Amino acid sequence: MASWSRSRQRAAIPGVRAEPVAARLVDLAGDQVCTQPGCPRATGIACEYVDRRGHHCRTAWCPEHRLVIDGRVYCRRHAGVVSALPVGYVGHTAPMPDLETRAPSLVSWVAREVDADIRELLLAGDRDSHAQLITDPVYLVFIGRDRRRAWERAWKLVDPAGDSLRVSLLVEEAADAEVAIRVDLAIVERLAPPWIIQRLHGALPPPEVDAQRRKDFNRRILSIISKGMEREGRGSPGAPGVRGAPEAALQPR
């Protein structure tokens, strides 16, 4: 699995590893008003994110609220996007995701939450102990006849005979409020994460309710993958993490 290397951040963000960087960027005082709501400081430095169309993020962040990744200052949203991309992707000629999309960070977050269970599910459903499990980092794909941009995270099981089973999660840039689930080449279902549904409806549930909804969402993903594997003749009725998953939980609304 790909390793990730990220710089120390002034603020914490899930999934971004912290490493020492020069204090110059972390603590340097800029001359712009901080974008953080309620922050009165005028010591902000602009977010350095630029998308594939040349659009710049128009936010600025003081030392208290900025995030520094690989020697660049980012807002929280674009730090999430950058941290989801493969190592070495940023700063090269590869096109960066559109300014407003959450696709890479969403698929990275969801995949990280279910990664161990998907690995276990794939291996439990395989009858050949010599099969190899291969994982890919988040990467750009094009889907459909109109070649829509999407960001995908994949797991692939390959046996010695060359047969393979591929499972992936993907989020389209133009539909970044839902996660598509693929078994081999077919998209078998699309689900809207509960935290996005809650945000769209302006609802903030109690922490224990939010935590349970997230667990149900993860179980739903595993249940869908398990059924797709069964259709391919690779399922395991006792696969871990799937038993008792609610069939109708958290359908997109």
pLDDT for residue 126 is more than 70? no
pLDDT category of residue 177 using cuts at 50, 70 and 90: very high
Query: Looking at residues 76-87, what average pLDDT do you find?
Result: 88
Spatial CA neighbour of 225 closest among 163, 177, 154, 172: 154
The reply to whether the predicted model has a pTM over 0.85 is: no
- Above pLDDT 70, what percent of the chain? 79
pLDDT at 7: 31
The DSSP code sequence of 108-171 is HHHHHHHHHHHHHHHHHT-S-TT-EEEEEEEEEEEETTTTEEEEEEEEEEE-TTS-EEEEEEEE
Look over the chain and give the mean of its residue pLDDT values, rounded to a whole number. 80
What is the spatial distance between Cα 132 and Cα 27, in angstroms, rounded to a whole number?
46
Residue from 83, 43, 91, 88 nearest 66 by CA: 43
